[in-house]
Structure 1
Amino acid sequence: MKKVIIAQLSVQENKVNIFLDHAKIMVAKSNEEAGCLTYKLLNDFDKENDFFIYEEYKNEKAIADHNASGHFKEFLNSVMPLLTKKPTIETF
């Protein structure tokens, strides 16, 4: 069954460009995954340093494969120090 994940990330204002460099790689590599239907980075209209990642996967296994990938782990390690607070993640 298809699964959707929405992650909200608040980035330090002076770190947005660094975050975007890492996010571009993450989006590209995630969209290449066999079980990924779509992976998009969206910017909050009112807050230039707030971002949403919209993810659609074929099933739970595809999510597990994504979370185990090297690019996912590298992204987390790179961007967590750039955030102002813990990300909000919802799965549907």
Structure 2
Amino acid sequence: MRHVVFFSAKNPDDIDRIVDGLSKLAEIPSVKHFEVSRNRNEDRFGNEVDVIVYAEFEDDAALTAYRAHQIYQDCIDIVRPLRDLRIAADF
């Protein structure tokens, strides 16, 4: 199972704080693979996405455990006030 989330910052000065806050998600035990990065794309049609999270899980149960973990909630508390756009996809 793959989990991808795109974020935009309310203020570009907060992008590093968003990346740092989201990086803590890698510590959740049910994560098989985790990456968080600034968006390096410079697209002439739009650059709304500032940060990308990419994670892999063994199955739906592992993703559910990830979302229920306290670290996940802690990251929400850090990032939510700093972000504008959030789009998530699981496949």
TM-score, L = length of structure 2: 0.81
Identity %: 13
Q: How do 1:1-92 and structure 2 match up within 5 A? A: 3-11=1-9, 12-27=11-26, 29-30=27-28, 33=29, 35-45=30-40, 46=42, 50-85=50-85, 87-92=86-91
More helix as a share of residues: 1
Counterpart of 2:59 in structure 1: which amino acid?
Answer: N
TM-score by length of 1: 0.80
SS of residue in 1 equivalent to 2:84: coil
**Cα shift readout 1:19-57 (whole Å, capped 9, x = no counterpart):** 233123223x13xx1x3210111221125x711111110
Task: Tell whether the 8 Å contact from 2:33 to 2:56 is kept in structure 1 after alignment.
Answer: yes
Please provide the CA RMSD for this pair: 1.6
The alignment partner of 1:58 has SS state of: coil
> Helix, strand or coil: the match of 2:88?
strand
Q: Are the aligned partners of 2:3 and 2:55 in contact in 1 as well (CA < 8 Å)?
A: yes
Q: Distance in 1 between matches of 2:12 and 2:34?
A: 23
Aligned residues: 84
Task: Spell out structure 1 runs of 4+ moving beyond 6 A.
Answer: none
